[in-house]
Chains A and B, each alone.
Chain A
Amino acid sequence: MDPDFDEFLHLPARLSLVALLAPVEWAEFGFLRDSIGTSDSALSKHLSALTAAGYVQVHKTRHGNTRRARVRLTPAGHEAFRRHAAALERVIAASRASD
């Protein structure tokens, strides 16, 4: 197994979340939920796991009656995602070379 391959990050929902956050500075909770097609509670669980791993930060604000949560990828999250994507590319390259 490639040492850069991140088993924790490879879960489809987590990988999708990190891939959504990687090219932007931050994203709203609602946008992430709709983009990966999950429920609020499921997304909260994934974000809690990613936060505990140090890959994302969640910043909650309140404007009147509206609560908003902005999620951003940490530098460690960026690095883990970059290495994981590179590991995936190497798997495909190795498979092509052996064909």
Chain B
Amino acid sequence: MDPRDAQASLARIGGMRERAADELVGHNFRLSAFTVPMLGLLLICASFDLPGPYWRPAVALLGMGLNVGFLIVHQRRAPVGRKMTAGEVALYLWAAGILLALIVTSLIAARMLDTPRPGLMTAGVVAVAWAPLGLGFRRLYGVFLCRNMPH
């Protein structure tokens, strides 16, 4: 066999592997995957300020329902599927931990400052931090995927 043909075939294999990785990252971090979960989270944060025994859980459940529903539809529409590795699960848990720490810190700060709407202030902090955190995580996930995707 011609070594140049072998080289071209290996290059094609590498290109297709990158294409699959790009599709995974592109689908998981498309615009709707940025905005809908943020809206769900904002609803959950805003529910902290609501009065009564009904409105608070109702709005929080609406936010959670939005996120769970979106996750199901997002997975069903995926053009490429792959089981998450333990490393990817750890990466997602780490990102969720950062987000949770941000929410708790904002809520505590808002209560210490005695703001009239601590939930709304927390929602504002989450909204401002969402884009840079999301873009940073997308970059990190892309690098992680390229290094750990099987050949």
- Which A positions have Cβ atoms within 8 angstroms of B? 1-2, 5, 10, 12, 15-16, 19-20, 22-28, 30-31, 35, 63, 70, 82, 85, 88-89, 91-92, 94-95
Interchain residue pairs with CB less than 8 A apart (12): A2-B1, A12-B9, A16-B12, A16-B16, A23-B149, A24-B80, A25-B83, A63-B76, A82-B151, A85-B13, A88-B6, A91-B1
Q: Is B23 an interface residue (CB 8 A)?
A: yes
Q: Is B127 an interface residue (CB 8 A)?
A: no
User: Chain A contact residues: over half helix, strand or loop, or mixed?
Assistant: helix
Report yes or no: A15 in contact with B12, Cβ–Cβ below 8 A: yes
- Could you count the A-B residue pairs with CB atoms below 8 Å apart for me: how many are there? 76
Measured in the bound complex, the distance between the Cα atoms of B71 and A25 in whole Å is: 19
- Which B positions have Cβ atoms within 8 angstroms of A? 1, 3, 6-7, 9-10, 12-13, 16-17, 19-21, 23-24, 76, 78-83, 149-151
Report yes or no: A20 in contact with B150, Cβ–Cβ below 8 A: no
Measured in the bound complex, the distance between the Cα atoms of B7 and A47 in whole Å is: 25
Measured in the bound complex, the distance between the Cα atoms of B16 and A69 in whole Å is: 19
Measured in the bound complex, the distance between the Cα atoms of B96 and A88 in whole Å is: 42
